[in-house]
């Protein structure tokens, strides 16, 4: 039987606010346990939540970025369940009326076709703390630093049909939240966590199969593998005469498998109800306008513009818009140098390779956009050859200053003095009579030998155009 996979994703993205969603405690990552949790985060008696407006602004920006409706009135609700790292015994979330309604994003599939994935909703909520099961000799440690950290939960429609589509969608959301500056998207630190709802059905069947939810996946690679495993598990199960049960599963990366965590019967009854400590969240036109006033150009628009304005290939445009920082870098180099194609080649080639090798982000590049544009200018005006430019780049990367300084200090300036090149060629022609004879007897290929000799002699600095021209003249005698 032919099976079709149906996938929907719930993505929890941590919002990049300075303080927590309902308290003034800081949100910085990595502090000592329980040092970034105030009375409100600890759920002490008598404390009350006050909504962080910046978190609302971020949610609104996201809504706008995915062309969603922003609810003029949304409600915070309590999701009630007991867990040691959930200090109040409930999580403040949004249930029936979320702040962001239906929206959509586009993903590009392998064969280049574009597919629209629906976003059902996005809502604001607070994160829980962490339970630490090691190092406490039979006890569990509770760290509430993360408790109350603002999250935007982004729920997709079940529109994806393969693990690859799910990854493409997740990457797109990841790209958007970083572009619009609402999240650092740091997956190692848990700022971007994915839950996948996976089911299979016979091709042609309209109803969905029973789904399993894979919780808390924190890398795109694991997302793809977890879904792949789960799809195969479900197909094997059904084909073996079994049935899929609705349940929550965990992906074990070490074993590359998903494991049952709890079934529907064991699930909590969350007893959602509107939080009486918080007023309905009302967003008026002024707030909305202010929140999205400085919304940057979004990746899709930027990609199209790069192709149109700079004549970039789709591949290059895609690559150079992967992050806003990279795109800004490229655009700055392109504008300053006036050579967008050279800029694209240098950014996607030398620069990216160097960044990858050094494992650093574009923002940490020792070669600034202005420096790279300076280098391209020197290529353009013939000061250096394209070949030597790589050496200059290396010099800049290693702290040698801007292109002019590296060219100067390493003596890489191109030789364009015709007289100097002529005398160099005269000497080489005189020293290699046998090869000259061969050339003159019609063995054209030997020409390259002479070019090589000149370049060697000049340390690569002789202008290749001039070398070719003079050499040809001299060899012909």
Partner 1 sequence: MQNKSIAQLAADLRLRTYSSVELTRHYLERIERLDPRLNAYVTVSAEPALAAAERADRALKAGEAGPLTGIPIAHKDIFCTQGIRTSCGSRMLDDFIAPYDATVVEKLAAAGAVVLGKTNMDEFAMGSSNETSFYGPVKNPWDETRVPGGSSGGSAAAVAARLCAAATGTDTGGSIRQPAALCGITGIKPTYGRCSRWGMIAFASSLDQAGVMARSAADAAFILDEMAGFDSRDSTSADVPVPDYVDALDNDIKELRIGLPKEYFGEGLDGRVGAAIQDAIKEYERLGAEIVEISLPNSPLSVPVYYVVAPAECSSNLARFDGVRYGHRCEDPKDLEDLYKRSRAEGFGAEVQRRIMIGTYALSAGYYDAYYLKAQKIRHLIADDFRRAFEQVDVIMGPTSPTTAFPIGAKMDDPVSMYLNDIYTIATNLAGLPGMSIPVEPVDGLPVGLQVIGNYFDEARLLNVAHQYQHVTHWHQAAPAGFE
Residues at the site binding partner 1, with contacts judged by CB under 8 A: 39, 42-51, 78, 80, 82, 84, 87-90, 142, 269, 271-273, 276-279
For the bound state, the minimum distance from the C-beta of residue 247 to partner 1, rounded and expressed in Å, comes to 18
In terms of CB distance, is 39 or 431 closer to partner 1? 39
C-beta contacts of 320-323 below 8 A and 24+ residues apart:
320/344, 320/347, 320/348, 322/175, 323/175, 323/178, 323/179, 323/362
For the bound state, the minimum distance from the C-beta of residue 270 to partner 1, rounded and expressed in Å, comes to 8
Residue 451 · residue 467 · CB < 8 Å: yes
In terms of CB distance, is 28 or 53 closer to partner 1? 53
In terms of CB distance, is 267 or 353 closer to partner 1? 267
In terms of CB distance, is 220 or 272 closer to partner 1? 272
Question: Length of the chain, please?
Answer: 477
CA atoms of 181 and 59, how far apart (whole Å) = 11
Find tokens 């919002």 and name the residue.
15
CA atoms of 226 and 230, how far apart (whole Å) = 6
For the bound state, the minimum distance from the C-beta of residue 48 to partner 1, rounded and expressed in Å, comes to 5
For the bound state, the minimum distance from the C-beta of residue 75 to partner 1, rounded and expressed in Å, comes to 12
For the bound state, the minimum distance from the C-beta of residue 302 to partner 1, rounded and expressed in Å, comes to 39
For the bound state, the minimum distance from the C-beta of residue 45 to partner 1, rounded and expressed in Å, comes to 4
Closest residue by Cα to residue 58 from 173, 190, 183, 146:
183
Quickly count: other Cβ atoms within 10 Å of residue 104's Cβ: 14
Residue 449 · residue 436 · CB < 8 Å: no
In terms of CB distance, is 44 or 358 closer to partner 1? 44
In terms of CB distance, is 41 or 195 closer to partner 1? 41
160-191 b/e (C-beta count within 10 Å ≥ 16 → b): bebbebbbbbbebbbbbbbbbebbbbebeebb
Residues 6+ apart with CB under 8 A from 194: 9, 10, 11, 12, 170, 216, 217, 218, 223
- 3-state DSSP helix/strand/coil % of the chain, to nearest 5: 40, 20, 40
303-315 b/e (C-beta count within 10 Å ≥ 16 → b): bebbbeebebeee
For the bound state, the minimum distance from the C-beta of residue 272 to partner 1, rounded and expressed in Å, comes to 8
Q: Tokens for 291?
A: 């929140």
In terms of CB distance, is 43 or 400 closer to partner 1? 43
In terms of CB distance, is 44 or 253 closer to partner 1? 44
For the bound state, the minimum distance from the C-beta of residue 114 to partner 1, rounded and expressed in Å, comes to 40
């Amino acid at each position: 039987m032919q099976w079709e996979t149906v996938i929907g994703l719930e993505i929890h993205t941590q919002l990049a606010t300075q303080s927590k969603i309902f308290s003034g405690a800081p949100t910085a990552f990595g502090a000592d346990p329980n040092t970034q949790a105030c009375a409100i985060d600890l759920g002490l008696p008598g404390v009350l939540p006050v909504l962080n407006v910046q978190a609302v602004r971020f949610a609104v920006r996201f809504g706008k970025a995915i062309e969603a409706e922003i609810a003029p009135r949304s409600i915070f609700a309590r999701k009630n369940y007991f867990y040691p790292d959930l200090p109040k015994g409930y999580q403040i979330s949004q249930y029936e009326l979320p702040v962001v309604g239906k929206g959509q994003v586009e993903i590009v599939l392998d064969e280049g076709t574009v597919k629209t994935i629906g976003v059902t909703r996005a809502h604001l909520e607070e994160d829980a703390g962490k339970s630490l099961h090691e190092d406490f000799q039979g006890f569990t440690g509770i760290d509430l630093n993360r408790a109350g950290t603002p999250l935007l939960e982004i729920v997709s429609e079940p529109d994806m049909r393969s693990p690859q589509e799910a990854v493409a969608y997740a990457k797109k959301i990841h790209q958007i939240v970083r572009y619009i500056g609402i999240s650092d998207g740091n997956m190692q630190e848990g700022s971007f966590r994915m839950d996948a709802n996976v089911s299979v059905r016979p091709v042609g069947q309209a109803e969905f199969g029973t789904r399993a939810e894979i919780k808390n996946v924190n890398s795109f690679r694991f997302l793809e593998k977890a879904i792949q495993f789960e799809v195969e598990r479900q197909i094997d199960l059904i084909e073996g005469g079994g049935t899929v049960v609705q349940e929550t599963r965990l992906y074990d990366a070490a074993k590359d498998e998903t494991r049952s965590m709890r079934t529907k019967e064991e699930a909590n009854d969350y007893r959602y109800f509107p939080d009486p400590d918080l007023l309905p969240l009302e967003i008026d036109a002024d707030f909305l306008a202010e929140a999205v006033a400085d919304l940057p150009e979004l990746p899709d628009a930027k990609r199209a513009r790069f192709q149109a304005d700079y004549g970039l290939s789709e591949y290059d445009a895609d690559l150079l818009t992967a992050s806003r920082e990279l795109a800004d870098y490229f655009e700055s180099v392109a504008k300053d140098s006036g050579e967008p194609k050279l800029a694209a080649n240098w950014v996607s080639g030398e620069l990216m390779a160097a960044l990858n090798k050094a494992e650093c982000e574009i923002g940490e590049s020792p070669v600034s956009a202005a420096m790279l544009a300076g280098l391209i200018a020197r290529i353009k005006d013939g000061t250096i050859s394209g070949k030597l430019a790589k050496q200059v780049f290396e010099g800049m990367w290693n702290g040698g200053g801007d292109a002019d300084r590296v060219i100067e200090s390493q003596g890489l300036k191109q030789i364009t003095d015709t007289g100097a090149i002529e005398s160099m060629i005269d000497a080489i022609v005189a020293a290699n009579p046998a090869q000259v004879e061969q050339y003159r007897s019609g063995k054209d290929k030997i020409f390259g030998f002479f070019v090589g000799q000149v370049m060697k002699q000049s340390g690569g600095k002789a202008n290749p155009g001039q070398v070719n021209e003079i050499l040809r003249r001299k060899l012909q005698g």
